[in-house]
Amino acid sequence: MRTALASASQHLATFSHTPRLDAELLMAHALAIPRERLLLHHLDAAVPDTFAPLLARRLAQEPIAYITGTRAFWTIELAVGPGVLVPRADSETLLDAAVAHFAKSPPARILDLGTGPGTLLLAALAEWPGATGLGVDQSNVALDYARRNAVTLDLADRATFALGNWADNVTGRFDLILANPPYIGTTEVLPREVAEHEPSAALFAGAHGLDDYRTLIPQLAALLGDGGAAILEIGATQSQPVTDLLVEQGFAVRLEKDLGGNPRSLVATWLS
């Protein structure tokens, strides 16, 4: 198994930024065991027959999360698959910002616009056991994953999901609003594993990647409660134009960077 992992890593390194991790996750999935158990107890075992087909799928640049069917995010594990955006570690920047904002008093009501498989909403509900939340998405496929994830995580009694276009049919006030809208420009070149597999509706938003912000941001004022925060993920070059859209709606805005030092989220609060 050590030899197989080394060989797979070499092949995967031609396109993956995490070739050894990919190989280990595929091997663990082939054995139906956690990766940690693989590394501790199975590296000298024979390679299972199920590994080669999984490796072939990854070499065709299918996302590793689609192959294994899961992706870890924040403190939770989410089921994912074709038709949903794969959760990224960069999006955890939004949760970091939310935790800082609500350090003294936790949010009671949370709204996740463009929830996908429930990524941000379920992570937030796991963080704050007293909160309830609503996740909205325009994709029935994504909402099916979100509802199943809520059940698996024992959060179904606190999470509600609805089909919709951003906040078109949402009413009430929320302490925390989270959103990871599409922000890729239509002419931008993406890696094959993203461009050929993940849903384009969750990726692209007009020539400059700003179309969905223009729809979403004017809806926030009617939904954000006093003392609350709306936290939006942004692309690395979009800090200023999205900030301008938020300021036009009367918000104070703070930029948060991800672990790589890239602009990643904007925290919008009411001007004091």
- Mean pLDDT along residues 23-46: 96
What rounded mean pLDDT belongs to the chain? Answer: 97
CATH 1.10.8 fits 2-60, yes or no: yes
Whether the predicted model's global pTM rises above the 0.85 cut: yes
What CA–CA distance (Å, rounded) separates 87 from 89?
7
Whether the per-residue pLDDT at 29 is higher than 90: the answer is yes
Specify the CATH superfamily of domain 84-270. Answer: Vaccinia Virus protein VP39 (3.40.50.150)
Nearest one of 135, 178, 191 to 158, comparing CA atoms: 135
Give pLDDT tens digits for 230-254: 999 999 999 999 999 999 999 999 9
Q: What is the pLDDT of residue 106?
A: 97
Burial class (CB in 10 A: 0-12, 13-18, 19+), 269: middle
Give pLDDT tens digits for 3-12: 999 999 999 9
For every residue of 181-202, DSSP letters joined together read: ---B-TT----HHHHTTS-GGG
Q: What is the helix (H) or strand (E) element at residue 240, kind and residue range?
A: helix 239-248
Distances (CA, A) of 254 to 17, 98, 161, 209, 226: 30, 12, 29, 20, 17
Q: What is the pLDDT of residue 272?
A: 62
Q: What is the pLDDT of residue 271?
A: 83
Nearest one of 76, 176, 77, 73 to 132, comparing CA atoms: 176
Q: Do domains 2-60 and 84-270 have the same CATH topology?
A: no
Question: β-strand 132-137 against 109-113: which pairing, if any?
Answer: parallel
Torsion, Cα 92 93 96 102, to 10 degrees, reads: -110
Query: What does the domain layout of the chain look like in residue ranges?
Result: 2-60, 84-270
Residues with Cβ < 8 Å from 103, sequence gap 6 or more? none
What CA–CA distance (Å, rounded) separates 64 from 26?
8
